[in-house]
Structures are given as structure tokens and as C-alpha cells.
Amino acid sequence: MIGTAVVTIICLLAVFLALHRLMTMRTAGPYAHHLSASLLCFGLGKLARTPVVSDEWIDGWFHSWSGVWNVTDYSGMTLGAVGAIFLVHAVAGIFGRPFRKLLLVGSIGAVVVGMAVTFALSPVPHAPTAFMSQDFDMTGWFAIYWLIYLLCLGSSSATVAGLAGRAAAVFRPGVPRIAVASVSASGLFGSAYVAHKVVNLTVEYFNVWPWYSAHAPQISLATLACAILSGATGLLLMLGAAVGRRVGRYRLLRDRIQEWQDSHAHAPDVFLDEALIPSGSSWSLWRSTRDPVVAHRMLVELADSKA
């Protein structure tokens, strides 16, 4: 129960952080948006599969007017697969091996359509379940549904682990290396989750190792929690480094904003645009630090005014 509560809190924080980044980082590159979209999908996907809340409350309410069961399981698994695709494209782009945008759109479309069709054709929408791999036979469309999900997660996790691990090997010891290594560890834990699911499904299909099946939910939760914690650690370290650079720009602007404004008053021809000079308020200066060019422009114009 405590583990579920901790994971839920982490997922809520991840969702809020991702939404904030998507709404405020309008000038960021595509890989930053892919990373935020991945974080949002993972957070929402895990929240959709929160025990009791999803199985009893949301699924029961949804079935009362639609007649469909287990929509939260489908939503959570699909969001997890889509988040994995976004993460692969973000990591590949950040580490210098970008994929084409068409591949991103095509992969997401294929996974969403494939999982929707196989879910609808399987017996899962017609009966309630708390742990679908135990309550339904792994045959037919249900097996294909799981195959799509696990192939997507497995290939994505392995790719992220490999790309991030290779990048971490060339970093110097320090915070950036720890951050990248954390992302690689997240990919490894994701691969461990996929391996666990394959073993669990095999065990249940052949009806062996009942002790493994009995503890499968706890193992799933543990591996997912480790993957989320590792990924969150890496993202927080990267975010902390970015915030540190932004604080440095803020201090530079705060210390020299008055000099910048005075220089503009005495030599207006040197400056590009008065409207681009922030006011002296703390909030205006902090907002200006979002663009690193502002501080650089200030230093250049101050140097030109003294030439």
C-alpha cells in the first residue's frame, strides 16, 4: 500500500512537471518536447493502472454507461507504449542519433491502432479483472495484444539503455554523467519489467511455478517503480543543471541591468531594440533568463557602448 502511494505521488508530480514544460517551453527543441510528452504518457499511464482506483471505481463507472470493462488497463498500457516511443526518439535525438519524424508518427499510430483493435477483439472488454494476465488465457487476440505491448516496451527500453549507456561512458565524472547513467538504468529496469512479464506469462500459460505468479504484481510494481525513480532522478538532475544555468544568468542580469539601462540612455544607437531590455523587477529578469541570448546580448551591447 505504501509503495503504491509513493508511486502515485511520483506519477502525479511527473504529470504536473510534464504539463508545465509543455506549456512553457514554446521555444525549446523537438527533443525537449518529446521528453516531456514521454514523461506525461508514463505518468498518466501508471495513474490509469492504480490499484483499486482504476479496477473498482473508474472501470465500474465506465462500464455502467459503455458496457466495456478494463478501459483503464488498456489506456495505461497504450500510454506506456506511446511514452516509450517518445522516450526513444528524445534520447536518440539528444545523443546525436535522431530518427525521422515520420517514423515517430508512424510508430505511435501503429501501436495505438494495433492495441485498440486487438483489445476490442479480445475477451478483455467483456469481463472485469484485477490482473488480466491471470484471468484470461494467453491465446488469440489477447496474446497479440500483449505481444505488441511488450515488443514496444522491450525494444524501446533496450534502445534507451544502450544509447544512454554509451553516452554515459564518454562523459567525465560528474552530475551530467550521473544523470545520463540514471536514464540508462531506467531503460535497464524497463527491460527487466518486460523480461518479468514474459516469464510471468509463460509461467501462467504452462501452469508452473505458482509462487512466481503469486508474487507477479509485486515484482511488476517494483520494477516499474525502479524504472520511474531512475528516470525521474536523471530528469531532475538535468533539470537542476538547467535551473543552475538560469540562476547564473539571472544573477548576471540583476547585477548589471542598471548599467545596461544607463548605457542605453547615453548611447541608444549601440543597442538593437529597447523593448528587448527587461525592466529592473525580479520577475522580469527571471522571465528574461528563459532565453540565454538575452544575457549574452547584454554583455555584447555593454562592450560596444564602451568601445
Domain spans, the chain: 2-244, 247-306
In 3D space, the residue among 195, 197, 180, 191 whose CA is nearest the CA of residue 231 turns out to be: 180
Q: Report the pLDDT value the prediction gives residue 244, as an integer from 0 to 100.
A: 81
SS3 263: helix
SS3 153: helix
Assigned C-alpha cell, 59: 472501470
Q: Report the pLDDT value the prediction gives residue 276, as an integer from 0 to 100.
A: 64
pTM (predicted TM-score) = 0.75
Residue 285 corresponds to which amino acid? L
Q: Report the pLDDT value the prediction gives residue 167, as an integer from 0 to 100.
A: 83
From residue 178, alpha-carbon distances to 34, 175, 198, 299 in Å are 21, 5, 30, 33
- Burial grade of 254 (CB within 10 A; 0-12, 13-18, 19 or more): middle
Residue 3 corresponds to which amino acid? G
Q: Report the pLDDT value the prediction gives residue 268, as an integer from 0 to 100.
A: 63
CB 216 within 8 A of CB 200: yes
Does domain 2-244 match CATH 1.20.1070? yes
Cα within 13 Å of Cα(264), Cβ side: 20
What is d(CA 160, CA 113) in angstroms, rounded to the nearest whole number?
24
Q: Report the pLDDT value the prediction gives residue 3, as an integer from 0 to 100.
A: 61
Ranges under pLDDT 70 in the chain:
1-4, 7, 25-30, 51-56, 265, 267-276, 305-307
